[in-house]
Structure formats: structure tokens, C-alpha cells
Amino acid sequence: MNFWKDNRFLVTGGAGFLGSHLVENMKRRGAKHITVPLVDKMDLRVTENCRKVVKDHDVVIHLAAVVGGIGANRANPGRFYYDNMVMGLHLMEEARLAGVKKFVALGTICAYPKFTPIPFKEENLWNGYPEETNAPYGLAKKMLLVQAQAYRQQYSFNAIFLLPVNLYGPRDNFDPESSHVIPAMVRKMVEAKQQRKKEVVLWGDGSPTREFLYVDDAAEGICLATERYNKPDPVNLGSGMEISIKDLATTVAEHVGFSGKIVWDTTKPNGQPRRCLDVSRAQEEFGFKARMNFDEGLKNTVDWYLSTLK
């Protein structure tokens, strides 16, 4: 059997940032039958809708999520918890009942404890409470792992759980109300340059570190895991790099061409102190290793955003 040609795939969130890149990758691999439910037509918080979309599919890849940066998480902890929790809960249950052969659940780096030793190893996932500003979102997504392992144990349901680090790349969300750190910085600095502002103000003190994974690399990792990985243990998807927010801001400014001053608003939260993943399990289990050079990926991201302004 040809895995990609012969299976029928459901990709929730397939029209989004990561999802659109994933669907393109799947098609290059020969996938012929891909269903992408659109959020305005199929609300996956409703059980009946989950029942409808999983019908007649062999593999479900669950990317759909309500997400945002620190500000969005602080403003919507209840919504981010409920929406993400209930989507995953119903979708996996309905997939099991419908006889789906494999369920691929996407978690989040926010699921890790606030003070996880560097690099983050999958076995440290339960050794503390997540960083407070995004804990409701992180915990809601982490429940997918609990559900996947419980269903595997009781029902022999083949569900796997992947933990991607912060993503970036073309087609990212640049909305200032809900974007993550890289697109938020890019937009802020592009606008500051256009308006000839002498400074930009960024949240925190710049000391936290983050790891970033280019969206095409993330799509590749998900495809490899979907085809090759069938175990209960969670798997990190990352690049293994680490950069401080302060250095990131300097790098973004260089790519954008913003030469003004960067001011840090220390009344705003930093978020988790450090993030950097141990990515060895993904390479050992299904041969995934990130390829994109960060500087090149950042240039591609900036170039794409500038192209949307023309």
C-alpha cells in the first residue's frame, strides 16, 4: 500500500499557517485525498461536526487551534483553554468511534513546565506547571497526550503526539492582536521604518530565549511522523537552536532595515525564561532534522510580509 496515495486524510487547520504548508508537502508526497474543514463552515467545538468530518477518513492530523502571543493568552485564558480542550476531546473520540486508523495530535511548547532544564526533553513534560501567561492553552493541548495514551492503552487506538516549538515563515499571522513574537516584531519594525519613528517598544527585558522552527521544516517533520511513527511517547519537533529575544530583535531590525532604538517595556511579562528542545528523539524515531538556516528563514519571512504590502 502506498501510504500517501491510498489513505484518506483529514487535516484540521489545513487552511492556516502551518496547515497550508503541510497540505502542500502531503501533495508532493502523492496524497490524493485530503479534506480541509474550514472554520467558518465547520465549528469543531461542536461534537456533531467532529462526527461529520472524521467520517470515511483513514488518518486525522489535528492542527486546528486557537492561538496567540503572550498578550492574546493573557486576555483570553478561558477561551484558549475551552476551545482547544473541547476540539481535541471530541475530535479524537469521534475519530476512534469512526474507525480512523491513525490520529496525529499537535501539542505546543507551552505545555512544558516554566522552569524546564535546557534542552527540553520529552520526559520532563510533567515535572512542573507551565509558564503562567499561557498555561491554560498549554494544558489544554497537553490533554491530547493524555487522551492519546489512554485510548492507545484501552482501545489500541493509534494516536501520536508531537510537540512543535515556535514556528515562523511565510504566511504567518501578522495581526498585532494575536501574532507570535517574530511576526509581531517584523510588523512593528516595518511600520516604524515606514513612519520614520526613532524607536520601537517591545515587551519584557529581552532576556528570555526562544527556539524557532521554519514552517516548511515543521511540515516535513509532521509528514515523517504521520508516515513512520506509531508509539505512545511524545516527540519534540524543533531545530535545536536558541536565541535571546534581544538578539532576535536586533536581527529582525537588520533584515527590515530599521535603524532606530529598541526600547524594552519591563512592565510587560517576559514569558517563559528559556526554550530550547532536545530534538534527538525525532531524528532517531522517524529521521527528522530541521534544514532551514535561521537567518535565511527570517529573510524569507520578512520578504513575504513586505510582498503583502505592495
Catalytic residue list: 137
Could you give the dihedral angle defined by the CA atoms of residues 284, 222, 244 and 114, in that order, rounded to the nearest 10 degrees? -80
285 with 226: CB under 8 angstroms? no
* Domains of the chain in sequence order: 3-171+212-240+273-292 (3.40.50.720)
Query: Given this model, what pLDDT does residue 1 score?
Result: 66
pTM over 0.85: yes
Q: Measure the CA–CA gap between 165 and 238, rounded to whole angstroms.
A: 5
Condensed to tens digits (0 to 9), the pLDDT of residues 252-300 reads: 999 999 999 999 999 998 988 999 999 999 999 999 999 999 999 999 9
Tell me, what's the pLDDT at 310?
83
Q: Cell 527556539 maps to which residue?
A: 211
E strands, 137-256, are 159-164, 166-168, 199-203, 209-210, 212-214, 235-237, 243-244
| Nearest C-alpha neighbor of 269 from the set 175, 206, 177, 184 | 206
171 neighbors 215 (Cβ within 8 angstroms):
yes
pLDDT in tens, the chain (310 residues): 699 999 999 999 999 999 999 999 999 999 999 999 998 889 999 999 999 999 999 999 999 998 777 788 889 999 999 999 999 999 999 999 999 999 999 999 999 999 999 999 999 999 999 999 889 999 999 999 999 999 999 999 999 999 999 999 999 999 988 888 999 999 999 999 999 999 999 999 999 999 999 999 999 999 999 999 999 999 999 999 999 999 999 999 999 999 999 999 999 989 889 999 999 999 999 999 999 999 999 999 999 999 999 8
pLDDT in tens, 188-228: 999 999 999 999 999 999 999 999 999 999 999 999 999 99
Q: What is the largest CA-CA distance in the chain?
A: 61
